[in-house]
Structure 1
Amino acid sequence: MAVAVTTDRTNGASAGTALRRTVTGRLGRLGGRPVPDRRPSTAVWPPQQDDHGVVTDRADEEAELVAAPAARPAESQYPVVIPPAYCDNDPVKEAPTSPMPVVLGIDDLRPLPRATRIARTSREGIQLLEEHRDRFIDELWLDHDLGGDDTIMPVVTLMEEAAFNGRPFRIGAVFVHSANPIGAETVVRSLARWSYRVQRATA
């Protein structure tokens, strides 16, 4: 391998000696055979030395950096999930439940298990209906005899007057469960005259 080295007399002696050692070592490893020069033409002269006195070729290093493929970024082992635009992160709201039916009863003795409120006298019955004046009453259970001289007729009169004034009580069904057949028939006939949905029943 022919190497042409041109150095000046001031600082080229040490650099030329290092280059001859490098070329001689390469030829010795290859058995004295010439090695084709495949380095790029942008070799830097004089050869550069690192801090430890080892000759390095920056052109070779730059060529290796250019030829090295770019490292791929590390992929996450968990996929990235993008929520849809309509995603609602608010707390889950319970579905509204239907209101409890209003079942009123007016009876002096019976427990009336279906009733949500019970009045034991006609006076209490009137007060109970007035409290529900602007509410819908699903069921109204009436007894005729309320003990002693007290009967359900004051309550019936209140319901008749409300219908006469054009503001009848909003009641889904009226059940008359009295053991007094004549009194029960009187209540049914009086309320039916004012278009209340009333019928005989057994409590």
Structure 2
Amino acid sequence: MSKPKIAVIIGSTRKARFADKPAAWLMEQLAERDDMEFGLVDLRDFDLPLFDEAASNLWMPSTDPRAVRWQDRIGEFDGYIFVTGEYNHSLTGSLKNALDQAYKEWNRKPAAAFGYGGVGAARAIEHLRGIAVELQMVPLRNAVHLGGGEFMKVSPLGQNGDMSEVAPVLKPSLDAMLAELAWWAEATRAARARTGA
């Protein structure tokens, strides 16, 4: 059987976003694993409109081809790692909109998170978990939080150092998150195949 496919979704579309730096580091770490396949999915590449469908695609097909293209892309994966900052104690508007643009494609798949910012996007990730429940996903307990002094070591707002400077702090939580993700990706993929869900 093939390996579970996991999307690493960059949840910010701002020109000045910081997300590229942790996402690149994350992809380097993921390349060392042989139990899952990973693909980078950047919201900037999809030009999603603000959600304007008559209803979720749970109830009727979406009409905007940009939304359909997004649904097709994320539907290819068996699980997700969301890379998100924290805006006003929550996730980015672009990520919330992207989550709203699909429904069926998210169902019965694990959702992991790598957050960055002053408190490591802890509140954003907690909101993400609530949204994931409504989308019938499996939100993981473990997450990666790049926050506080470690964030300032690598942020342009601080010392703008290399991600290798904070890797020893992030690696234990990353390893725990990926172990949990691998388990749930295998379990949910097998159950979806068995039930046709």
What's the TM-score, normalizing by structure 1? Answer: 0.38
Larger Rg: 1
Which is helix-richer, 1 or 2? 2
What's the TM-score, normalizing by structure 2? Answer: 0.39
